[in-house]
Chain A
């Protein structure tokens, strides 16, 4: 649903305020009872508050405090989950949990925990260290016993929240985004809910506003409770170290403590910290929090030290002044039901909470006698038969998946909304390689201007309304050679950056039938799309030569195509391709993986602060400028090489003010970069350690400042252009890549990958953000390949070569 398709609302039987997991569950409960209900969400998507940043656990309530509403509703929910998850089609796994005792004192407390669990009706067993060594060898050897809770489960919290909403919409409910409640009047005969869009009159309202539940209640004159935010920081690792159960310590006074939790789609979650605060918007992460998480989780799973987190984030749990859930009529009148203080078990108890909340209102409103509707179901996700092009290269997310996400019942207007539906941007580069493509698709699908597409929170703009001019066209023009013309080859070079070009030219010169494949429309890679003034003479010559050889078909060219898999079939390689034109494959004797890299995103380093839009890499800037869009007005550009300098030039040309911090550890500011110096010295390497002196960012929803060497600089963009991470996604399917970012392709001294005919070259082997050695690296690997060929193969190549000339 686009911006222009917002429903006009003036009346409903019930209004639900807040589109978190609890609000959406209440909406579904109302819809099942046939009640005309509308949900108002202040942000642009459901699950934009507490529901988006938590441990994603469906908790059995084994350790809930006796006699609490929370304990009762967790148990009620446990009864409903199996059917509900099946009906709603939500990704979830009953992986079980282990509460570790790491001392004899701890072990004694496990008995109490087991007894408490049994009083709640939760199945548990006490297991010893031998059991742990066998079933969970990843836990610390210090664990002397554990409480095994087999029914603890993990879930995708975004999917669950959305599935509630989608199922409710399917039963006739309405969901309106970007509708913050500014006024609320409770009368004996109904409620009036005021938003920026107008006033809705309803018979009943539910305050499910999470962190803002007390603020909403106060709008109606109810000040009987307060909500305090409790911040929890998390880390995400793609490497699991075999962790297949939730691992937790004996709980402390602030909760369960730090956990190591499998993620339903793979990877593990570490954390959370627990810190009471007063700022309901403070989702910043800190170096100290990260250190505490790693320290605590290492005590549970020592292999945490081998994990390289690809992301950190923080969530805020709404802690009520009563210490328990609040589910009751408001002091302002019984036509407002308070559903608040759902501290950290909102996902787990959401079915029970929704049921209880609606029952509070049902008898007073006469809803109890209404017949229940059919069992709720979320609309099954349907994919088009053909995958189309790959949108997110890190996770191989296809156009078909993006299209299915955009066609869902709840509207999708932000980058984060799209990410949570289909995984675009969840991978190693954290969306820096696909965000601009996603902006284009979102703008197109919703009939919105690109400048109106936001990252997530309202105000988190990504590109300015003004364009930077005409879309850039860099690199060389080539003639398209569709896959159908190149079903067979002596060698396929995956990646047409400088290394790939170097390899292709050398192999073609030896007479091999070479096909060059790249996800971009033109060869040249990261360097090829810079202004030509940044190319070396050798690079310029190579780009010209490869264009000429492609034009006369001496080198096969398949652009705008992603290689999604390499398969060894009958002693040859089958290279699987995906593009807008469809799927195809090429069979070949030799594959050279020259997939380059992506600029290291913020998430792979420690930069404190919130997660506003405006923190990006040079990859994202390049994509935006290629579209003619300006991603910044005032940018801090980090890096001392030509990529950084060229990116700064591009931003200036697009009208942005650029700040190049001169960080002491990295030496002087980057040389040149201006029009007077077309061939600067870009040989300076980036020093290890703090990236350009950047230690923190501030601002939310859009970046407002960057802390450099202890001083704050005002900026609405931080552009990282200082380090490259090798792109080895393709090799992971062969068991050769590492799921941790930053680990290069594992080659021998000649560039061989240890499998017949499989080689790698360039920055996927030796990460170098400026690609100084890429052209030579490609050429060198090609020579190594040619040296392995028999005399007969060499003669055949020469014959083919003479035939061409």
Chain B
């Protein structure tokens, strides 16, 4: 695995409203970019299909997500394992997330520790990093829409 992102983003919503989203499949499905299907398979595990735009290619992947080491409402580790449809190989990601109050907003620090195999491994870290950053930006926007205006989440 290698860390390809280590960054902060700010969500314009309080931390105690963000945290519950991580445990609710229906809410997660509303904020995860390109989420076509998501269901809880256990208290902290989910399974679904995500369509991720890699600039030139929309990649549908069967994904398993696990919330690990959760310390509400401060931190958790999101573990993802996915198999893109149509491409050989897959990916595994560990995303430690730390939330801290920043006034009425929440600062979210995250890392992306990513392992790719097969075809994804040949795309190169720059493309994957760029795509992940865009996904995070969309996730933040979706979160803000959901928490500020629940009817507007995409």
Contact = CB atoms under 8 A, between A and B. Distances in A.
B32 to A, nearest CB: 20
A689 interface: no
A383 B121 contact: no
A398 B127 contact: no
A159 B87 contact: no
B117 interface: yes
B90 A576 contact: yes
A564 B83 CA distance: 12
A578 B85 contact: no
B44 to A, nearest CB: 18
A265 B127 contact: yes
The 3 lowest CB-CB distance pairs between A and B, nearest first, are A266-B124, A383-B86, A565-B117
Contacts of B55: 85, 89-92
9 contacts: A89-B56, A156-B56, A264-B124, A266-B122, A266-B126, A381-B58, A383-B86, A565-B89, A576-B118
B35 to A, nearest CB: 18
Interface in A35-86: 85
B74 to A, nearest CB: 29
B85 A385 contact: yes
A390 B83 CA distance: 15
Interface string A260-284: 0011111100000000000000000
A401 B85 contact: no
B100 interface: no
Interface in B82-117: 83, 85-90, 92, 115-117
Nearest to A267: B124
Nearest to B128: A266
Interface size, B (range): 20 to 34
Contacts of A404: 86
Nearest to B2: A735
A395 interface: yes
Nearest to A380: B58
B17 interface: no
Contacts of A93: 126-127, 130
Contacts of A583: 83, 88
B118 A381 contact: no
Do most interface residues of chain B lie in helix, strand or loop, or is the interface mixed? mixed
A735 B114 CA distance: 12
Contacts, number: 108
A312 B68 CA distance: 47
A732 interface: yes
A164 B79 CA distance: 39
Contacts of B116: 733
A384 interface: yes
A95 interface: yes
Contacts of A384: 85-86
A266 B120 CA distance: 11
Contacts of B136: none
Contacts of B123: 265-266
Contact of A733 (B85, B117, B127): B117
A576 B90 CA distance: 9
B58 to A, nearest CB: 6
A585 to B, nearest CB: 10
B122 A733 contact: no
B121 A396 contact: yes
A400 interface: yes
B93 to A, nearest CB: 14
Contacts of B60: 385
Contacts of A735: 2
A390 B86 CA distance: 11
A423 B122 contact: yes
Contact of A564 (B86, B117, B130): B117
